[in-house]
Amino acid sequence: MLVVMKAHATEDEIRGVCQKIEKLGYRAHPMPGAQRTAIGITGNKGEVEQGTLEEMPGVQEVIKVSKPYKLVSRDIKEDNTVIRFTGTDVAIGGNGLAIVAGPCAIESREQAFAVAERVSRAGAQFFRGGAYKPRTSPYSFQGLGEEALRIMAEIRQQYGMKIITEAIDNESLDLVEEYADMIQIGARNMQNFSLLKRAGRAKKPVLLKRGMSATLEEFLMAAEYILSEGNYNVALCERGVRTFADHTRNTLDLSVVPAVQRLSHLPILVDPSHGTGKRNKVTPLSRAAVAVGADGLMVEVHNNPDEAMSDGPQSLFPDQFDELMVQVRQIAAVVGRTVPGIGMYEPTAVSK
């Protein structure tokens, strides 16, 4: 922390602030400048509680300096975290891009399989589908719950894709942990600290989506909650932030990808479906996400968006997803990444 004094601050006022800092148990480093004095504070273990420093006579401003995150930081671990899924070569955070695709919500066995068949064939290694849907309106479709989880478990069985699905409270997290391969924490729950702690005690990796108005620091601190409970397998996901701009549902902030990669060892995916909310922008922004260096993509695909029970307008048709994968592979090559594909799915082979 740094205390900036007013230009008119007297010697006494500066001394007073230094004494207060020492009294709070820290060390004060006064730096007299041409115009004013600044006082650095060191010696704190965690975050400094600034108390009433800002109100003391002669004080202009108090500036927070040290970053509160630890376990998510490259200061602690310099190498990239790679999340591995047992029994496969599939990983998040390695050289290969993680491609997650599927419908917004699981609406029926037929719909889920129809989409799964197509995205698997196009090369997705992860299948997404909502079982518990956080909807703005209590009157909207809220998901099929455990039935959806069972359908997705069958999809894993048949297509070999790993399953990612969202938990919205401790109860649903218990079930998601049981059925799925990776637990998603949605944007609206990014600061549901109770849920983050529960996810930190889970045995499965966690995909944490950025909150709609989360700063980079808050995003990393939310991940820190999960790691601090012992679960180190966390991937982040940018999905657009809320701004004044109204030509997309959210403003996809691709610059957060290199920013995360500079500060943290955790992998980061991009969700251009929620990030734009418009089907015709998903493919260009997917290309951009791979070009900027993201570790993967999360894309909504629906076999019949017209009748989708949620997020129809932002879901790709399966043919569009095929085309997206072609483009993604080409861009991946330019940035030195691969798109592994699960390689295990042979339609003729697995069907009975």
Instruction: Report the site for its own copies in 129-168 (rule: CB under 8 A).
Output: 134-140, 168
**Distance (Å, rounded) from C-alpha 119 to C-alpha 106?**
14
Interacting positions 262-291 with its own copies (CB under 8 A):
262, 275-276, 278-281, 284-285, 287-291
Count CB atoms within 10 A of the CB of residue 214. Answer: 19
Whether residue 91 contacts residue 85, with contact meaning beta carbons closer than 8 Å, is answered with: yes
With contact defined as beta carbons under 8 Å apart, do 206 and 187 qualify? no
User: With CB under 8 A as the contact rule, which of the stretches 24-32, 97-105, 146-154, 341-349 interacts with its own copies?
Assistant: 24-32
Question: 222 and 248 in contact (C-beta within 8 Å)?
Answer: no
How is 226-295 classified by DSSP, letter by letter?
Answer: HHHTT---EEEEE--B--S--SSSSB--TTHHHHHHHHBSS-EEE-HHHHH--HHHHHHHHHHHHHHT-S
Please list every residue from 302 through 341 that binds its own copies, using CB under 8 A: 305-310, 312-313, 327, 330-331, 334-335
Min separation Cβ 8 and its own copies, Å: 6
CB of 75 to its own copies, least distance (A): 4
Q: 78, 79, 203, 352: which one contacts its own copies (CB under 8 A)?
A: 78
**Rule CB under 8 A: is residue 344 a binding residue for its own copies?**
no
If DSSP codes are grouped into helix, strand and coil, which group holds residue 59?
A: strand
Residue number, 11 or 78, with CB nearest to its own copies: 78
Nearest to 270 by CA among 245, 253, 247: 253
Query: Which C-beta is closer to its own copies: that of 30 or that of 82?
Result: 30
Task: Tokens 């300096």: give the residue.
Answer: 65
Among 79, 247, 348, 349, which residue sits at the site for its own copies (rule: CB under 8 A)?
Answer: 247
Q: Does 188 bind its own copies (CB under 8 A)?
A: yes
We find the least distance from the C-beta atom of residue 86 to its own copies, in angstroms, to be 28
Q: Whose Cβ is closer to its own copies: residue 203's or residue 247's?
A: 247
Instruction: Report the residue number, 7 or 350, with the smaller CB distance to its own copies.
Output: 7
Among 57, 258, 343, 347, binds its own copies (CB under 8 A): 258
Alpha-carbon distance of 99 to 344, in angstroms, equals 15
* Interacting residue with its own copies among 14, 92, 182, 257 (CB under 8 A): 257
